[in-house]
Amino acid sequence: MRSLTVAWQDPQALAEAGRAMSGLEFLRAIRDGRLPSPPIAELLGFSLVEVEPGHAVFEVHPGERHYNPIGVVHGGLAMTLLDSAMGCSVHTQMPAGGAYTTLEAKTNLVRAISERTGVLRAIGKSIHVGRRVATAEGRLVDRDGTLYAHASTTCLVL
């Protein structure tokens, strides 16, 4: 039998702290450990490792805890990582108090993922950030640059 214990900090306190900073400042504070990671990152075991204007990268080491019933990593892990990377690439361009939400996301899974895959990087890049709509794209790759999934998103700027 295997087990996993997950601990996280109050997500409302994290959101409140974020409203006082620009999106880039907020994400850099999470990356640098000055603010805690959000609960979803703790639950799935991924972390923000790079953040610049219009760019965000998350990393995860897929393991058995991510497996589906057929013995490979569930596609939802790839989708969640890509949604996070693309959304955060948009978030880097939000002013203090600014917000957005995903309206639509499309993911193409192109290769199976297992615990033997090693560390994966979800790289998000914003394409357009306007007053009401933002778009971004993402790629999920291993350390050698092999593509495992790619995605695009449309976000509503609030």
What is the 3-class SS of the chain, one letter each residue?
A: CCCCCCCCCCHHHHHHHHHCCCHHHHHHHHHCCCCCCCHHHHHHCEEEEEEECCEEEEEECCCHHHECCCCCECHHHHHHHHHHHHHHHHHCCCCCCCCEEEEEEEEEECCCCCHHHCCEEEEEEEEEECCCEEEEEEEEEECCCCEEEEEEEEEEEC
pLDDT for 74: 98
pLDDT for 71: 96
pLDDT for 72: 97
pLDDT for 83: 98
> Residues 9-22: pLDDT tens digits?
999 999 999 999 99
pLDDT for 131: 96
pLDDT for 121: 98
> Residues 48-104: pLDDT tens digits?
999 999 999 999 999 999 999 999 999 999 999 999 999 999 999 999 999 999 999
Region 111-136: what's the mean pLDDT?
Answer: 98
For the chain, the average pLDDT equals 98
pTM above 0.95, yes or no: yes
> Residues 132-150: pLDDT tens digits?
999 999 999 999 999 999 9
